[in-house]
Amino acid sequence: MSLAITIELGDADLQHFIDAMQRSQQESKNLSAKQVTEAASRLLVDGHANKLPQFIADRLQKLDSMIAMVNDEGFALPDEDRQRVLACLTYFANPQDIIPDNVPVLGFLDDAIMIELCVKELQHEVDAYEDFVAYRKQEAAAHGVDPASLKTQRVEWAEARRLELIDRMRKRRGQSYQSSGGWRPVLFSFRG
């Protein structure tokens, strides 16, 4: 049996999380990027050591992606984006979160909610990073090597995506000509 629970956070509810994030950022302002990511990584270790509800475990995976994004030299986040991700991770680096993690069942609930808020804030960065990781795995499989051994760079991924989009554009153009009764462009002539 599964049960769907929807939680709607109003402005006042969200303000509790915003305030907690701001406190964490203030308390963590002297921490290095490495210290922030290591502290956030400890939350993952603690989470794996506990039997967590699946909806919390799913969100911890997103936290793992955010940490990896900051540390992935191949992805090479621009400094402004890197600082945004680190600002989100400071909440997980602070042991004084809203619900202490050692509270059975609910201890990681505030972390799951905060991860969800951070993922919404960083949606484009998280999506791009997950696409980059998938590309690196695909390249590694094509070369028969471990993805960790591949030194894939962001520029290679971006170029592959650019070529993929051009190919898709050409295929769609061809399909639209076929579906429109054989019409071919006549306004433009191509000299060969």
51-88 pLDDT tens trace:
777 888 888 888 899 999 999 999 999 999 999 999 99
Residue 76 region by backbone torsions, left for phi larger than 0, else alpha for psi between -120 and 50, else beta: left
Residue 52 has which token pair?
Answer: 């967590």
Supply the pLDDT for residue 175: 72
What average pLDDT does the chain have?
84
Supply the pLDDT for residue 17: 87
Supply the pLDDT for residue 180: 61
Percent composition of the chain: helix, strand, coil (DSSP 3-state, to 5): 70, 0, 30
Supply the pLDDT for residue 32: 92
Residue 164 has which token pair?
Answer: 């993929």
Q: How far apart are the C-alpha atoms of 176 and 173, rounded to whole Å? A: 5
Average pLDDT over residues 91-106: 69
Residue 67 region by backbone torsions, left for phi larger than 0, else alpha for psi between -120 and 50, else beta: alpha
Identify whether the C-beta of residue 156 lies closer than 8 Å to the C-beta of residue 142: no
Of 93 and 146, which is predicted with more confidence? Answer: 146
Average pLDDT over residues 163-190: 72
Supply the pLDDT for residue 102: 62
pLDDT at residue 151 is higher than 80: yes
Of 2 and 29, which is predicted with more confidence? Answer: 29
Q: What's the pLDDT band for 130 if we cut at 50, 70, 90?
A: very high
Q: What percent of the chain has pLDDT over 90?
A: 33
Of 141 and 102, which is predicted with more confidence? Answer: 141
The model's pTM: 0.76
Q: What's the pLDDT band for 188 if we cut at 50, 70, 90?
A: low
Supply the pLDDT for residue 61: 87
Supply the pLDDT for residue 179: 65
